[in-house]
C-alpha cells in the first residue's frame, strides 16, 4: 500500500504530516511513500530531501489523493478534500469529530476509514501517538519564547556594573502538557515562575520543575484528571470566585502571564479579566493559548497581538506549533508513524484496522461505512472511578480489633519461622563440623537481620538502598582476592567469579545510587 501527505491548504499552516525521516521508517513497515510537490517546503523539507529518502513526488493534490491508499494530514480536511475520499482509502488527520458532523457524514457516505489523531486515548501505551500532547508541548514552549520576544527585560535576574536587574515573574495558568512545557522553559530561562491549576494533584509536578504552585484557600472535590482523559473539570461558581480573587492578588506582581485553560468542545473559560489586565504593570505580556476558543483573557483577539491602554501586550496567536514547523512536523510525523506501526503488526505494508485494539478503536471516527464516534470510554475511566470509591469508615473499636488481629497474626508467623529455623540449625549441627557452624550461624543471622531491615523500608527507597548496600557488602571481594592465588584450579575459578560479580555490585551499586540522587538535583 502507498501512504501520502498532501500540502496543507489551511491558511498559514506550515506543518507537514510526513518528513524524510518518518518516510524511511514507514518504508520499513512495507509502505511506499509519496508527498505532493512542495508539501514540506514551509517546514524546511525540500522535495530533494524527500527523493533522497525514497519518497515519490506527485505534482498535484488531486493526483496524490487518487494514487495513494492512506492519506496523512495535519489539519482537518475541507469539503473539497473530503470529496476525494473513497471506500478503499484511510485518512489519518486531526478531524475534530465532535464539531465536524458534516465531515463524518461525508466519510460515511464515501465508505472511507478515518482516524482522528486528537482522539488517541490518553493512556500510557498510546503516549507515542498522542499528537495533541506533542503539539501542546511545542505551543507551551513557543508561548514563553513569544512572551520573551515582546517583554522588554531579562527573564533571569542579573547584577551588572550598571545596577541590579530583578528576575521576571511569570504565572502559568493551567498545568497540563502546554503548561508544564511553559513552566520548564520559563524556569530554565531564570524567571521566578508560578503556576496554578484546578487539580491540586499536579502541585508536585509543578514544584519538581522549580516553579511555585499557587494554592487556593478553598476546599472543593475536583474530578480526577485520569477519569476525564487528563483534562480538568468544570469548577463550581464558588471555586471560580476564589480563583479570580487569587488572580487579582497576583496580577500587579506578574510580568508575564500565560493561560492554557481549555476544556474540549467548550468555549474557553474567562480567567484573566479586564480589571486584572488593568492592574498589571506597563510592559507586561499575556499569552493566551486558548485564543482559538475565545480565549482565557478578556481583550484577546484571535490571531492578533494587541496592546492595551496601560501598555500590556496580549498575544492571541493560534499557530504556535506552525511557528516551529520543522520541530512540529517532526513530532507529528513520528506520531503518525507510531500509529502506522500499530496498524501494521505484520510489517507487510498492509493495514490491519483492528477495532478490538483500544487505541485504534478510540481514534477511529468512521469505519466500514459507519460512524464510530464517540468511542467507548477508555478503560482508565473505569479504573479511576473505582479508585475514588471511599473505604468504609471504621469505629475506633473496629480499628483496634483489626490492629490486634494483625499483630497476633504477625507474631504467630514470626514464632513459626523462628521455630522452623531453629530446628533446621539443630539438624545441620548434628552433621556439620563446629568451624562450619560458627560461620553458618553468622550468615543466617546476617540474612535474617538484613531481611528485616529491608522489609521495613518504603518501596520508593528500595532501589537506592539496595544499590548502595550491594556496593558496601561487596567487601567480600577481599576474600576472593586472597583466594585467587590458590593452587587449586577450582578455587581460582570460584575466586575469579566472585571478583567479577562483586565488581559488578561495587561499580553498579554506586552508579545506580548516583543516578537516583541526580534525579533530585536541579541542573
- Quick check: is 122 catalytic? yes
Q: Are 335 and 129 in contact (CB under 8 A)?
A: yes
User: Grid coordinates in use for 196?
Assistant: 496554578
Active-site residue identified among 231, 342, 473, 483? 231
User: Which residue, among 179, 195, 178, has the nearest Cα to 136 in the 3D structure?
Assistant: 178
Tell me if residue 46 is catalytic. Answer: no
Q: Is 248 a catalytic residue?
A: no
Among 122, 142, 199, 361, the active-site one is: 122
- Residue of 133, 243, 322, 498 marked catalytic: 133
404: preceding bond cis by omega (within 30 degrees): no
Run of H or E including 514: helix 489-518
CB atoms within 10 A of CB 200: 13
Q: Which of 15, 75, 93, 130 is catalytic?
A: 130
Q: Residue 430: helix, strand or coil by DSSP?
A: helix
Under the phi-then-psi rule, with left for phi > 0, alpha for psi from -120 to 50, and beta for the rest, what region is 30?
Answer: left
CA distance 360 to 462: 37
The yes-or-no answer on residue 303 being catalytic is no
26, 56 Cβ separation under 8 angstroms: no
| DSSP assignment letter at 297 | B
Instruction: Name, in order, each residue with C-beta under 8 angstroms of 175's C-beta and a sequence gap of 6 or more.
Output: 183, 195, 196, 197, 199, 202, 205, 206
Contact of 177 with 133, CB cutoff 8 Å: yes
Residue in 127, 387, 402, 414 annotated catalytic:
127
DSSP 104-131: HHHHHHHT-EEEEGGGS--SGGGGGG-H
Instruction: Tell the burial category of 193 from Cβ atoms under 10 Å away from its Cβ (0-12, 13-18, 19+).
Output: buried
Give the closest residue to 3 by CA, choosing from 28, 26, 20, 37.
Answer: 26
C-alpha gyration radius of the chain: 31
Is residue 130 flagged as an active site residue?
yes
Report the C-alpha gap between 194 and 94 in whole angstroms. 32
Query: Among residues 4, 19, 15, 135, which one has the least CA distance to residue 81?
Result: 4
Question: Known catalytic residues?
Answer: 122, 127, 130, 133, 231
Amino acid at each position: 500500500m502507498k501512504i501520502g501527505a498532501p500540502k496543507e491548504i489551511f491558511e498559514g499552516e506550515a506543518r507537514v504530516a510526513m518528513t524524510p525521516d518518518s518516510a524511511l521508517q514507514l518504508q520499513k513497515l512495507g509502505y511506499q511513500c509519496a508527498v505532493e510537490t512542495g508539501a514540506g517546503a514551509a517546514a524546511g523539507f525540500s522535495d530533494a530531501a524527500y527523493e533522497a529518502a525514497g519518497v515519490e513526488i506527485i505534482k498535484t493534490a488531486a493526483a496524490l489523493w487518487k494514487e495513494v491508499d492512506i492519506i496523512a494530514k495535519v489539519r482537518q480536511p475541507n469539503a473539497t478534500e473530503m470529496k476525494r475520499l473513497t471506500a478503499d482509502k484511510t485518512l489519518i488527520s486531526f478531524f475534530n469529530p465532535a464539531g465536524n458532523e458534516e465531515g463524518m457524514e461525508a466519510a460515511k457516505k464515501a465508505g472511507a476509514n478515518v482516524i482522528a489523531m486528537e482522539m488517541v486515548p490518553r493512556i500510557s501505551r498510546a503516549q507515542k501517538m498522542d499528537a495533541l500532547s506533542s503539539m501542546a508541548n511545542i505551543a507551551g514552549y513557543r508561548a514563553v519564547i513569544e512572551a520573551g520576544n515582546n517583554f522588554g527585560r531579562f527573564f533571569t535576574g542579573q547584577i551588572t556594573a550598571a545596577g541590579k536587574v530583578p528576575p521576571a515573574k511569570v504565572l502559568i495558568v493551567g498545568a497540563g502538557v502546554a503548561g508544564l512545557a511553559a513552566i520548564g522553559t520559563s524556569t530554565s530561562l531564570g524567571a521566578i515562575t508560578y503556576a496554578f491549576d484546578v487539580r491540586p494533584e499536579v502541585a508536585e509536578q509543578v514544584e519538581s520543575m522549580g516553579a511555585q504552585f499557587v494554592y487556593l484557600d478553598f476546599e472543593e472535590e475536583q474530578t480526577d484528571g485520569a477519569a476525564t482523559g487528563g483534562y480538568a473539570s468544570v469548577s463550581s461558581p464558588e471555586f471560580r470566585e476564589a480563583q479570580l480573587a487569587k488572580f487579582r492578588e497576583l496580577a500587579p506582581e506578574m510580568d508575564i502571564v500565560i493561560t492554557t485553560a481549555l476544556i474540549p468542545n467548550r468555549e474557553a473559560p474567562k480567567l484573566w479579566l479586564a480589571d486584572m489586565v488593568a492592574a498589571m504593570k506597563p510592559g507586561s505580556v499575556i499569552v493566551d493559548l486558548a485564543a482559538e476558543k475565545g480565549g482565557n483573557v478578556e481583550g484577546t483577539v484571535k490571531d492578533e497581538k494587541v496592546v492595551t491602554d496601560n501598555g500590556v501586550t496580549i498575544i492571541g496567536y493560534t499557530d504556535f506549533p506552525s511557528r516551529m514547523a520543522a520541530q512540529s512536523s517532526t513530532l507529528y510525523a513520528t506520531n503518525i508513524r507510531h500509529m502506522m506501526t500499530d496498524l501494521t503488526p505484520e510489517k507487510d505494508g498492509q493495514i490491519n484496522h483492528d477495532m478490538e485494539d483500544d487505541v485504534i478503536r478510540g481514534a477511529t471516527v468512521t469505519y466500514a461505512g459507519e460512524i464510530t464516534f464517540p468511542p467507548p470510554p477508555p478503560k482508565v475511566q473505569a479504573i479511576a472511578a473505582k479508585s475514588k470509591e471511599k473505604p468504609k469508615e471504621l469505629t475506633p473499636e473496629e480499628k483496634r480489633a483489626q490492629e490486634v488481629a494483625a499483630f497476633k497474626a504477625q507474631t504467630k508467623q514470626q514464632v513459626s519461622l523462628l521455630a522452623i529455623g531453629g530446628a533446621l540449625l539443630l539438624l545441620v549441627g548434628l552433621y556439620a563440623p563446629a568451624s562450619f557452624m560458627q560461620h553458618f550461624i553468622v550468615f543466617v543471622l546476617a540474612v535474617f537481620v538484613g531481611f528485616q531491615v529491608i522489609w521495613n523500608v518504603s518501596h520508593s527507597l528500595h532501589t537506592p538502598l539496595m544499590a548502595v548496600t550491594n556496593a558496601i557488602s561487596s567487601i567480600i571481594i577481599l576474600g576472593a582476592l586472597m583466594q585467587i592465588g590458590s593452587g587449586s584450579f577450582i578455587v581460582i575459578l570460584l575466586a575469579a567469579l566472585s571478583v567479577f560479580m562483586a565488581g559488578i555490585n561495587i561499580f553498579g551499586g554506586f552508579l545506580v545510587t548516583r543516578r537516583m540522587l541526580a534525579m533530585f538535583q536541579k541542573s
